Structure formats: C-alpha cells, structure tokens
Amino acid sequence: MLELKGIHKYYNPGTVNEMCLFDNFDLSVQKGEFISIVGSNGSGKTSLLNIICGSIPVEAGTIKLEGKDITREKEFKRNRRIGRVHQNPAMGTCPNMTILENMSLADNKGKFFGLSRGTNKTRIDAYKESLRQLGLGLEDKLNVKVGSLSGGQRQAMALLMSTMTPIDFLILDEHTAALDPKTADLIMELTDKIVREKQLTTIMVTHNLRYAVEYGTRLMMMHQGECILDKKGKEKEEVSVDTILSLFNEISIECGN
C-alpha cells in the first residue's frame, strides 16, 4: 500500500557539507505489515519516517500511498491517514490541557474544528474505557493536566491518541527509547495489542533489538541510507537477537567505531 521509489535525499545541498543519505532508495510496504527497523545512528531510519510523513522534502523520487502520489502533499494533509508517536513523550500530547481535552482533540482528528462543544459528554465513557485498558489509572484523572503525568503515562496516552481515529498507517519513532525498561515493555505490549486489534500497517524504528525480533512481521536493518537486511514472514521468525547483533558489529567495524 505504501511505495517509495527512487528516493534521493541530500542534506545541506550545494554546500561543502553536502551529504547524500538516500541514493535511489526503494521501499514497498504491504497492507497489514508490522515492520521493525533497526540500524546505527545516522543510518537514515528517522529520515525515512520523516520522508513518509512529509516532515522533510525529498530531492527526487515518488511516494505513493495506495496508488495515489503523495510526494508533494503537505505534512498536515498526510496526517489524516497517518498516526505517529515520537521518541519524546511530550510531543504527542498537550501538557497544559487536561486528559479529557487531549482525548477530545484526538477524537476529532480529520473532522471540522468548529464552534460546537469541545468535549463531547457522551464520549466520556468511551474515553474512560480505552484509558482503563492501559492499566495506569488514568481513567480517574480525566481533569488532570497531562503535564503532571509521568513520561510513560504520557507516551501511553500519545499512543492511544494517535490510534483513536481510523488511520491507515502507524509510525513509531523510537517510541520506547525515553522510557525505563519496565515502562518500555508495557508500552511495547500495548503497541502490539493496538496494532493487532485495529489491524494497522505499522513501521517502527527501534534501538532495542529484542523488540525488533519479538514484535512485528518484518525486520529491516538500515546502514548508510541502504537496507542491508530485510526478512519477512517465516524468515523473520527465525532471526535471533544474536544474528542481528553480529551483523550490527560487522557494520560498526566497517565504519571504524
């Protein structure tokens, strides 16, 4: 459903610092796939997500979503069909607004923000129900400002908010990286549950090799703007943490670090 063809991406074009990240990069994502992407810093993982979401432009190539060319479509328009959770838990919520207000905003995604009541009273029970599933006790804190919640609680909310309305695509950008190991596990389990329930096509960037191996239906490793490992289905299930770790060491030695 998502097709990236011949993507070229340069940083600082026209200067001495010009750096080519993607040179003729292709990627095709099937509906219902859950891709985990690993790779060293600077390998182009986050740039890839930014290109898909439209946060950064590309110099050449096309991006097609379900056959429709979206290469020149603005980021906010693409977001109608894309949900994204960032590494920084603060980016997915409004800290000075209450949980209820945040949920109401997310619930109205893609619709018109007019002069009708901001928070729909009849939806409160539904919000409470989905918050209860998190198991963090947030359902009793609807009128608490999100800024006073912990990073893990906020990230759980960000995940819930980005998947609240029907979307085609879920983008997870190292969304467990800023959390402690236990909370990270919790958020990861929650992610898997939501992805399964809503049958979302998902791309997850992670530095946690265990998550990459355990979760998802496809595993990719990126290095210097290229995909050096791509395993799907049965092949993917056979991959172990050790295999990618040794591959990781190989590419790191190549780079000299």
Partner 1 sequence: MDLAVTILEQGLIYGILALGVYITYKILDFPDLTVDGSFPLGAAVTATLIVKGVNPYLTLLISFVAGALAGVCTGLIHVKFKVRDLLSGIIMMTALWTINLRVAGTSNVPLFSKESIFNNDMLKSFVPESMMPYMTLIIVLILTMIVKIILDLYLKTKSGLLLRAVGDNDRLVISLAKEDGNVKILGLALANGLVSLAGSVFCQEERVFEISMGTGAIVIGLASVIIGTSLFKKMTVIKATTSVLIGSVLYKACVAIAIRNFEPQDMKLITAVLFLVILIISMERKKKVKGNA
Residue 83 is a binding residue for partner 1 (CB under 8 A): yes
Q: CB-wise, 79 or 183, nearer to partner 1? A: 79
Residue 74 is a binding residue for partner 1 (CB under 8 A): yes
Residues in a beta bridge with 234:
none
**Helix (H, G, I), strand (E, B), or coil: what is residue 65?**
strand
Residue 170: CB minimum distance to partner 1, A:
12
Residue 162 is a binding residue for partner 1 (CB under 8 A): yes
Residue 44 is a binding residue for partner 1 (CB under 8 A): no
Residues in a beta bridge with 205:
37, 173
Q: Which of 15, 17, 41, 116 binds partner 1 (CB under 8 A)?
A: 116
Q: How far is residue 85 from each of residues 122, 174, 203, measured CA to CA in Å?
A: 27, 8, 11
Q: What is d(CA 135, CA 190) in angstroms, rounded to the nearest whole number?
A: 10
Asked if 157 contacts 109 with a C-beta cutoff of 8 angstroms, the reply is: no
Residue 119: CB minimum distance to partner 1, A:
8
Q: CA torsion sign, 110 to 169 to 158 to 76?
A: negative
Q: Which of 43, 93, 153, 191 binds partner 1 (CB under 8 A)?
A: 93
Residue 72 is a binding residue for partner 1 (CB under 8 A): no
Residue 142 is a binding residue for partner 1 (CB under 8 A): no
Q: CB-wise, 114 or 256, nearer to partner 1? A: 114
* Main-chain phi, psi angles of 38, to 5 degrees: -120, 170
Asked if 12 contacts 19 with a C-beta cutoff of 8 angstroms, the reply is: yes
Residue 231 is a binding residue for partner 1 (CB under 8 A): no
Radius of gyration of the CA atoms of the chain, in A: 19
Q: Which of 12, 16, 68, 114 binds partner 1 (CB under 8 A)?
A: 114
**Footprint on this chain of partner 1 (rule: CB under 8 A):** 50, 53, 55, 74-77, 79-80, 83-84, 86-88, 90-97, 101, 104-106, 108-110, 112-119, 147, 162, 173
